[in-house]
Structure 1
């Protein structure tokens, strides 16, 4: 009995490994949304495997491009750019979607997160709060060769913007022309606009690694910072 208890962890790991191999090889068929090795589907309802699939996309440029190509986000691939001094980008696209103008460069994995956020958070939230879609997402840009705000001197940490791995969203234009702005509407805590902004901020935390709002610090008083960097933060 004691020997069996000692072997149990090894047997469990072996069983998990065999199950993973069977799923990956196709010997066991399950619906793609419940198969961790099936590609992410941006339009499919998120579930417990979504974060894992996003992580796979981040580590596999070819998979990322395939996933993004099946989304509705208008984009074109751009060559890698080593700008030196810790700046530039790899595996990036130019997002030229009219809903996200003007065009900007973003890593493929961040663009997938953007497409997920748009599909599963932004669109439904605008219908709930305003009864109409967002016509245009207004932003302050993505790529900028700079440090984290406030960081200076030798050894200062580069911002995710320096890698085209972040986007700063400043507001939204609704179909009827009304504008919802982070700077103006976030402080109006009891307003419909503020409730909408907080909902889309909270939803972004599910798809981006770091989501920073005016609740984080004064430097973000006029935008939502969205990135797929190394550190998780939702403020």
Structure 2
């Protein structure tokens, strides 16, 4: 097993008033040649968006984009005609493919929104752009991981144009959880949304992350109530 540890306090930062962003990988004004990507995982931005503010219409192409709202809400509009509100419990996916234009705003005038935006390199370039959204609140089970995105199309999960699996779970303190890699050869990037855990001999706290690869499985031990996101991706 090989690992790479990304402490929260070593992420890139950008504060422009209405947007406070933390970058796990090089993005925008932040560039670190040692943190460009983890396998096919290119971006993991931890954003706080001010009341009534957001990202105006802007283009993307050939990228698989996922939004997970942690607090508040994000309003999405795009050139495919999609419009909707993403709330906690929802996961939004968008294959930019040949090209799409979209905007993302915090619709609340009284509360900030907190969201993770995650980009994964596509498996096939220049596909038809697509959008999907699903709420997982009712299927989440305490002390278990729930698969939210899978490389196999299913009514139970969302799908991205890549051999990637996104799983999330909430755990009590004192849990020992074994995770088996779903796609042979993939690595896993584990992001601690909340809590205090141990993985592969490394202690992780809130917003710390660790990449694990060259292994078929690993174990997570929780020291406190924890919320954990696992992004499994091909190692490029």
Q: TM-score, normalising length from structure 2?
A: 0.28
Task: Pick the structure with more strand per residue.
Answer: 2
Task: Pick the structure with more helix per residue.
Answer: 1
- State which structure, 1 or 2, has the greater radius of gyration over its C-alpha atoms: 1
Q: TM-score, normalising length from structure 1?
A: 0.28
Higher relative contact order (CA 8 A, sep 6+): 2
